[in-house]
Amino acid sequence: MSNLIENLTLGSFYDAVKLDHIILKLTVYQRLFINDSNTQLSTHTTCRLGQWYLSNETKIFYKNQRSFQQIAAPHMDFHEQAHKALQAGQVQDWSNALQALSNMENSSMSVNRLLGEVTKS
């Protein structure tokens, strides 16, 4: 019974994290579209996934899972590319903004895949 509850909780968390990242991506696209000067975004350590990933309890529980070990790099890149896209947009460097958006999307897919593997383990 506790395993079922744990799996349901982790699944709900996974869905919440996916929504958080979708909202962050939409924020980036919206700010670029309206040429908003606000470049503030959450970082890979301040978002819900980052806080979960960095917690001692999580590390103890998942440290031996390969997928968990691999999440940090694409997750950090996701946030870095989002920031780069906004910064490029500020100076109307659309080529670099588009490249950063593409990289952000690729990193997002990697994070989703890896987190999905963690939740299935």
| The pLDDT of residue 19 | 93
Cβ-based neighbours of 86, under 8 Å, separated by 6 or more: 28, 31, 32, 39, 41
Structural domain boundaries of the chain?
Answer: 2-120
Asked if residue 4 has pLDDT above 70, the reply is: no
Mean pLDDT estimate for the chain: 91
C-beta of residue 78 within 8 angstroms of C-beta of residue 104: yes
| The pLDDT of residue 119 | 82
Indicate the range of 3-12, 70-79, 95-104, 109-118 predicted with least confidence: 3-12
Task: Dump pLDDT digits (tens) for 18-55.
Answer: 899 999 999 999 999 999 999 999 999 999 999 999 99
Please tell me the pTM assigned to this model.
Answer: 0.90
Q: Does domain 2-120 have CATH number 1.20.120?
A: yes
Asked if residue 1 has pLDDT above 80, the reply is: no
Mean pLDDT of 90-109: 97
Single out the residue of 17, 7, 12 nearest to residue 121, CA to CA.
Answer: 7
Q: What are phi and psi of 45, to 5 degrees?
A: -105, -15
Pick 75 or 15 by higher pLDDT.
75
